[in-house]
């Protein structure tokens, strides 16, 4: 039923708390897990007069910095399981939806934060996914994540 599960992460403590749910569903259905992290920094500079080259260079540096943290996260939490991992660049909503379609994902498992900037960014992604995803989306409640 769920051959491929997508787990979009933001590398926050909340992402770590979702891992057991992803693993449990994956083991139950013998699924392949796809873990993605989306680098999206250009929106921070949309109202500032900066060269496109600077923004691209900055995004490249952010991506390099995320590589080790992301790879460590995947290794620590999904060792021994069938997993694919990828860092993407762009708007999280667009990149996740494109990934779902291109990789023929069967289920998306994600969380959303209940406070601050994480809610503004990741919460809106979760809401968009629930509304527009062509596949089922399991959203882990912030109450569970905060317990």
Nearest to 1 by CA among 42, 27, 26, 29: 29
**Confidence (pTM):** 0.83
| CATH superfamily, with its number, for domain 4-145 | HUPs (3.40.50.620)
> 33 is written with which tokens?
């897990």
Nearest to 96 by CA among 125, 70, 116: 125
Q: Give the whole-angstrom CA distance, residue 110 versus residue 144.
A: 12
Q: Express each pLDDT in 99-122 by its tens digit.
A: 999 999 999 999 876 555 555 555
Q: Express each pLDDT in 50-74 by its tens digit.
A: 566 666 677 777 778 889 999 999 9
Radius of gyration of the chain (CA): 15
Phi, psi of 82 (to 5 degrees): -70, 110
In this prediction, residue 2 carries a pLDDT of 97
In this prediction, residue 61 carries a pLDDT of 77
Q: Give the whole-angstrom CA distance, residue 8 versus residue 89.
A: 13
In the three-class reduction of DSSP (H, G, I as helix; E, B as strand; rest coil), residue 75 is classed as helix
In this prediction, residue 118 carries a pLDDT of 53
Q: How many CB atoms lie within 10 A of CB 103?
A: 15
The better pLDDT of the pair 61, 44 is held by 61
Helical axes 124-132 vs 92-102, angle rounded to 10°: 40
């Amino acid at each position: 039923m769920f051959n491929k599960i997508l787990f979009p992460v933001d590398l926050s403590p909340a992402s770590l708390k979702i891992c057991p749910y992803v693993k449990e569903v994956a083991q139950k259905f013998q699924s392949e897990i796809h873990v993605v992290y989306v680098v999206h920094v250009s929106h921070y500079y949309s109202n500032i007069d900066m060269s496109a080259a600077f923004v691209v260079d900055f995004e490249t540096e952010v991506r390099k910095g995320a590589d080790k943290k992301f790879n460590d996260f995947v290794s620590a939490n999904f060792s021994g399981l069938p997993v694919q991992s990828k860092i993407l660049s762009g708007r999280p909503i667009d990149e996740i939806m494109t990934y779902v379609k291109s990789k023929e994902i069967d289920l998306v498992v994600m969380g959303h934060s209940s406070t601050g900037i994480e809610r503004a960014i990741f919460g809106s992604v979760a809401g968009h996914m629930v509304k527009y995803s062509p596949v089922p989306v399991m959203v882990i409640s912030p109450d569970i994540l905060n317990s």
